[in-house]
Every structure is written in structure tokens, then in C-alpha cells.
Chains A and B, each alone.
Chain A
């Protein structure tokens, strides 16, 4: 999982702002995922992508958007439509059946 990087580590957003979280992997994995984690809760799937230029909504896609223009990159934009975005965001990629996670981005709304 050292081949998945996320930036920034901490991010602060003002009300009404869009922010973009970066996720990059050098593992040559086809599938990539974005999860949201709230305190004391499990991982909830926001979006996933199985191949370049294609992505699917997960369980909580409202207020988020993604793109997959390159195999190694899967950025997540948290839009102003997401009313409660403060959370820990985890990116993951899958090789075979094994899913590995990036180090996460902690987003806080000011």
C-alpha cells in the first residue's frame, strides 16, 4: 500500500468552497475507490472506477464528483453541495482481489 499517495494530509474548507483531494497510485491497478470515514464508523463508498474514463457512484455520491483521466490518478472533488463534508477520506486501489489504502486526507469545514 506504499504505492498509493494522497494529498494533502489535512485540508480546511470554507463554507461554499469546492475542494479537490488527490489520489495517485503506481501499482498499475485498474480499479480505484474513494471512501468516507466518520468518527467511530466504518468505510462508506463514495465513487469507484474500474477503468480509465469510467466511474460509478457508490453509496454516498451526492455532493461529490470524480474523474479518471489517467490510470494512476483518481481525484475527488468535494463540492459545496455536500453539506457535511468534515470526515477522513480514504482512497484505495485493487490489484487482483487485494485492496490497498492510501494514507488518507482529513477534511475539516471551517
Chain B
């Protein structure tokens, strides 16, 4: 089955710096890769996603890149702000399921210090 590894497990950055989180997946047939942000005690919220036919996607200060050959994808947050502090999860679709079943990474705790 699909296996998703996420690094680092914790990330501390100064406000205004960039943060990068990396994930690798095992099944080359995976074709959908969402990222979720979870604040303490809250539900995970979808912040950006990318499909396998696209190499990069950007939405304001966040961007995701995908390298299908290497089977890894990354989340980039620029100009970090204290409200970016949260746990971030990457996920990959589990083939051949087309109903949205996902395999999640273990999460990255991001701390942005003013």
C-alpha cells in the first residue's frame, strides 16, 4: 500500500523567513497530493493541493511542488507569520481508489517566532 513520509517533524522559523516541508510517497500511481493545516484542538483544513499532471502550484504565500520521478512533493511557506504556527500534514491518494481515500504523513509542527 501507499506509504507517506514527512520531514521534518518540527520546524522553528523566525517571522518573515521561509518554511519548507518535504514528503515522499511510495506508489507511483498516486495522483493527488493535498496539504492540510491543523491548529491545536481544531480540525485539519485543506490549504493547497496538487495533481500529478502539474509540477507546481501557488496560492499567495504558500506553494507546493511535485517531482513525480523522485516521488516527492514539498510545501513552501514564504514570509511566515505567527498565525502560520500549526501542524501541517501532507497526504497522497491511495490508488486505484478514486473516491478520495488518502494516506497521511505524520505531520510537521511549525512554530513561527516573532
A binds B: yes
Which residues of A are in contact with B by a Cβ distance under 8 Å?
1, 30-31, 33, 40-45, 48, 50, 90, 94, 96-104
Q: How far is the CA of A54 from the CA of B89 in the complex (A)?
A: 28
A42-B100 in contact given A97-B93, A103-B42 (Cβ < 8 Å): no
Q: From the candidates A45, A48, A97, A102, name the one contacting B43 in the complex (CB within 8 A).
A: A102
Q: From the candidates A1, A42, A94, name the one contacting B89 in the complex (CB within 8 A).
A: A42
Q: How far is the CA of A48 from the CA of B34 in the complex (A)?
A: 18
Q: Are B101 and A33 neighbours in the complex by a CB distance under 8 Å?
A: yes
Task: Scan B75-95; emit 1 where CB is below 8 A from any A CB, else 0.
Answer: 000000000000001000100
Which residues of B are in contact with A by a Cβ distance under 8 Å?
6, 32, 34, 42-46, 49, 51, 89, 93, 99-102, 104-107, 109
**Inter-chain contact count A-B, CB under 8 Å?**
54
Which A residues are in CB contact (< 8 Å) with B89? 42-43
Which A residues are in CB contact (< 8 Å) with B34? 97-99
- For the complex of A and B, the 5 pairs showing the least CB-CB separation, nearest first, are A94-B100, A101-B43, A42-B106, A43-B104, A31-B99
